[in-house]
Copies of this chain bind each other. A is one copy, B any other.
Amino acid sequence: MTLSLDQARTIIRKTLEKGRAENFKPLSVVVLDAGGHVQAFEREDGASPGRFGIAHGKAYGSVMLGMAGTAQMARADAQAYFMTAVNGVFGGQVVPVPGGILIRDADGAVMGAVGVTGDTSDNDVIAAMAGIDAAGLSAEV
């Protein structure tokens, strides 16, 4: 099972609403499907132009490795050359920090991933969780 566009829209809209409610910096949010392909993306006015790439890199690594951003960061901290090598394999498209979040179905299978960037990594996760909760989905940060 993969995410629908309706689910992706809910995630993005509610993530951005949370960012405004918390007065975070302008956020950018991408939703990828179970194969790591872009389903939907929005970048708030005032965000820097390169934010698609950062949001995508957080979510893309999560799907391709089956490992969310926090776990990727731990691995990068412990064994930097491993994450460097992973980026060689995946064309430099992996950004191994919090804000890349796996979405799982009731059986634990990955349905896709969300990538948020713009404020601190911790705040990016707070906003994303609001979006994923609003869509009634289960997340792994």
In contact, A5 and B45 (Cβ under 8 angstroms): yes
Q: Name the contact of A35 in the complex, choosing from B34, B46, B96 (C-beta under 8 A).
A: B34
Number of this chain's copies in the complex = 4
Give every chain B residue within 8 A of A131 (Cβ-Cβ). none
In contact, A81 and B96 (Cβ under 8 angstroms): yes
- Interface set, chain A 31-53, CB cutoff 8 A to B: 33-50, 52-53
Instruction: Provide a sorted-by-A list of 22 A–B residue pairs whose CB atoms are within 8 angstroms.
Output: A2-B34, A4-B45, A5-B42, A34-B49, A37-B49, A37-B52, A38-B41, A38-B43, A39-B43, A41-B41, A46-B109, A48-B63, A50-B89, A53-B64, A53-B89, A57-B85, A76-B81, A81-B96, A85-B87, A86-B95, A88-B93, A92-B92
